[in-house]
């Protein structure tokens, strides 16, 4: 190896001397020319690389971008799209292709945010003449917005500083504000002013089911059996949506007849999610207070203090019994062994006494009894309740003549479906 190879100690020994000498060979009189040439070459190469990168970036952006027409159609499609309901097989583990009758629609319009001045004007300074409901966690006012639209304004009790008022507000916003269902009362907007919280709902013209069952002289004419069955099935669908429509599940915790509102066509809407809790699919919510309304609270709540979907099922069963009997919940006692009762003494006197409606009533009673079983595991899910009520709704032909034997206290619900004790009302 030549002695003048100064780079020898800087380079690997396996490289040849010729290669090592290439960078350090000097040509007389060419230093300045070599310097200019190097600068020009480096500049030209950098410009070429920069242009190539810029061209590649532009092509990548162009390929990932949709034309305005495609973008507009995609936006329209996303607004009008609905989430397909899960199949009964997926949610119940049964081999059936029957789809669930739970329609889910995404919330397409942003919630209105009203000012306190808007609320005061719409309710005429919270006039008592505008009160249409009072209880639970707030007072509900009938209101007319500046545009002329009727709404229901719920003023949360205790304001935002109250712990449960805050929880109610967040639960309402997280549940109704995100998803709409045809059997849930739509949340239209809200108002926040200092510690005050207001929720704005769609106005339901016919009021609550509780008012019709208790205080309306024309209830017998308006709430004929087909209407009652429709209300029962619609409320079941709304509650089934809360339980099974999406994950995490939603538990209402205060299902009762006064929280079932009716629109002008007597279509039911489940309302008042102030006690709603979002829980994971496999967990229950442990509460430090016993939420709900006396008469609708399942027996296990007093011991476990856990809100469960089966607790909502129990409350729904009470509502179904109210629809059948026309009487409010007054407590319960277990039927004594061997005790019998007559159906004529259970059903509302204004309901049909024979024919297909009577058979429908008998079957709805069996479902209601199953829902109000003492043990939660004996109660059906709301999906199963919807399926049974749909089958009952399709029963239009005259049934076979009833057996002359009395109905015993141990009642078989839908043959081998559920066993439950009969409740005397």
Q: What is the pTM of this model?
A: 0.65
Q: What's the pLDDT tens digit per position in 56-108?
A: 777 665 554 444 333 333 333 333 333 333 333 333 333 333 333 333 334 45
Q: Among 120, 176, 104, which Cα is nearest to 153's? A: 120
- By DSSP bridging, strand 112-113 and strand 187-193 are parallel
Average pLDDT over residues 326-345: 60
What CA–CA distance (Å, rounded) separates 419 from 356? 24
Assign 321 a pLDDT band (cuts: 50, 70, 90).
very high
Q: Among 225, 314, 327, 310, which Cα is nearest to 266's? A: 225
**∠ CA 152-157-158, rounded to 5°:** 145
**∠ CA 172-108-113, rounded to 5°:** 50
Quote the DSSP letter at residue 171.
Answer: H
In sequence order, which residues have a C-beta less than 8 Å from that of residue 397 and are 6 or more positions away? Answer: 356
Residue 34 has pLDDT above 80, yes or no: no
What CA–CA distance (Å, rounded) separates 168 from 157? 10
Annotated catalytic residue within 118, 166, 195, 254: 254
Task: Give catalytic status of residue 265 as yes or no.
Answer: no
Residues tagged in the binding site annotation: 154
Q: What's the pLDDT tens digit per position in 183-228?
A: 998 888 888 888 888 889 999 999 999 999 987 778 888 999 999 9
Average pLDDT over residues 323-333: 75
What CA–CA distance (Å, rounded) separates 117 from 422? 53
Q: What's the pLDDT tens digit per position in 303-312?
A: 877 888 999 9
Q: Among 241, 280, 276, which Cα is nearest to 259's? A: 276
Dihedral (CA of 359, 365, 366, 367) sign: positive
| Report for 243-247, 287-291, 387-391: range of highest mean pLDDT | 387-391
Q: What's the pLDDT tens digit per position in 354-403?
A: 889 999 999 999 999 999 999 999 999 999 999 999 999 998 755 555 54
Q: Among 425, 381, 420, 390, which Cα is nearest to 229's? A: 390
Mean confidence (pLDDT) of the chain: 71
What CA–CA distance (Å, rounded) separates 379 from 311? 9
DSSP annotation string for 49-67:
HHHHHHHHHHHHHHHHPPP
Residues tagged in the binding site annotation for ATP: 154
pLDDT of residue 146: 87
Tokens representing residue 253 in the block: 């915790």
DSSP annotation string for 222-264:
HS-HHHHHHHHHHHHHHHHHHHHSSSSEEE-S---GGGEEE-T
pLDDT of residue 36: 66
The three-class DSSP label of residue 126 is: coil
Tokens representing residue 128 in the block: 């008592």
User: Could you give the maximum distance between any two Cα atoms of the chain, in Å?
Assistant: 127
| Report for 28-32, 150-154, 410-414: range of highest mean pLDDT | 150-154
Chain-centroid distance of CA 255 in Å reads: 14
Tokens representing residue 292 in the block: 């709900």
What CA–CA distance (Å, rounded) separates 39 from 57? 27
Q: Which residue segments constitute the domains of the chain, with CATH numbers given?
A: 107-202 (3.30.200.20), 207-421 (1.10.510.10)
What CA–CA distance (Å, rounded) separates 224 from 155? 34
């Amino acid at each position: 190896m030549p002695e003048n190879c100064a780079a020898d100690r800087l380079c690997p020994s396996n490289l040849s001397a010729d290669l090592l000498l290439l960078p350090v060979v000097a040509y007389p009189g060419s230093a300045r020319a070599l310097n200019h040439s190097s600068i020009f070459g480096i500049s030209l190469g950098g410009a070429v690389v920069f242009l190539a990168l810029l061209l590649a970036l532009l092509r990548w952006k162009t390929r990932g971008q949709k034309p305005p027409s495609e973008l507009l159609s995609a936006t329209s499609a996303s607004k009008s799209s609905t989430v397909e309901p899960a199949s009964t097989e997926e949610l119940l583990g049964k081999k059936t292709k029957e789809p669930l009758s739970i329609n889910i629609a995404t919330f397409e319009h942003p919630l209105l945010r009203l000012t306190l001045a808007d609320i005061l004007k719409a309710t005429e300074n919270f006039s008592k003449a505008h009160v249409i409901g009072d209880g639970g966690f707030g007072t509900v006012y009938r209101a007319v917005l500046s545009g002329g639209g009727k709404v229901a304004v719920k003023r949360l009790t205790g304001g935002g500083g109250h712990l449960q008022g805050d929880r109610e507000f967040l639960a309402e916003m997280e549940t109704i504000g995100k998803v709409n269902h045809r059997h849930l009362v739509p949340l239209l907007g809200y108002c926040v002013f200092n510690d005050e919280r207001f929720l704005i709902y769609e106005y339901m013209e016919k009021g609550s089911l509780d008012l019709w069952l208790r205080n309306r002289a024309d209830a017998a004419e308006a709430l004929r059996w087909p209407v009652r069955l429709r209300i029962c099935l619609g409320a079941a669908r709304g509650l089934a949506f809360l339980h099974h429509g999406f994950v995490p599940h939603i538990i209402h915790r205060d299902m009762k007849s006064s929280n079932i509102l009716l629109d002008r066509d007597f279509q039911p809407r489940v309302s008042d999610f102030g006690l709603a809790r979002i829980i994971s699919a496999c967990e229950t919510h442990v509460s430090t207070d016993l939420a709900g309304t006396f008469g609708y609270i399942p027996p296990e709540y007093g011991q476990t203090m856990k809100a469960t979907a089966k607790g909502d099922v129990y409350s729904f069963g009470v509502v179904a019994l109210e629809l059948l009997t026309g009487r409010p919940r007054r407590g319960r006692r277990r039927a004594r062994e061997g005790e019998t009762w007559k159906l004529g003494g259970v059903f509302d006197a204004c309901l049909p006494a024979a024919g297909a409606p009577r058979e429908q009533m008998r079957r709805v009673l069996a479902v209601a009894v199953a829902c109000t079983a003492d043990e939660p595991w004996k109660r059906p899910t709301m999906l199963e309740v919807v399926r049974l009520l749909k089958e009952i709704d399709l029963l239009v032909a005259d049934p076979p003549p009833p057996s002359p034997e009395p109905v015993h206290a141990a009642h078989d619900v839908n043959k081998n479906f559920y066993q439950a004790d009969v409740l005397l009302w």
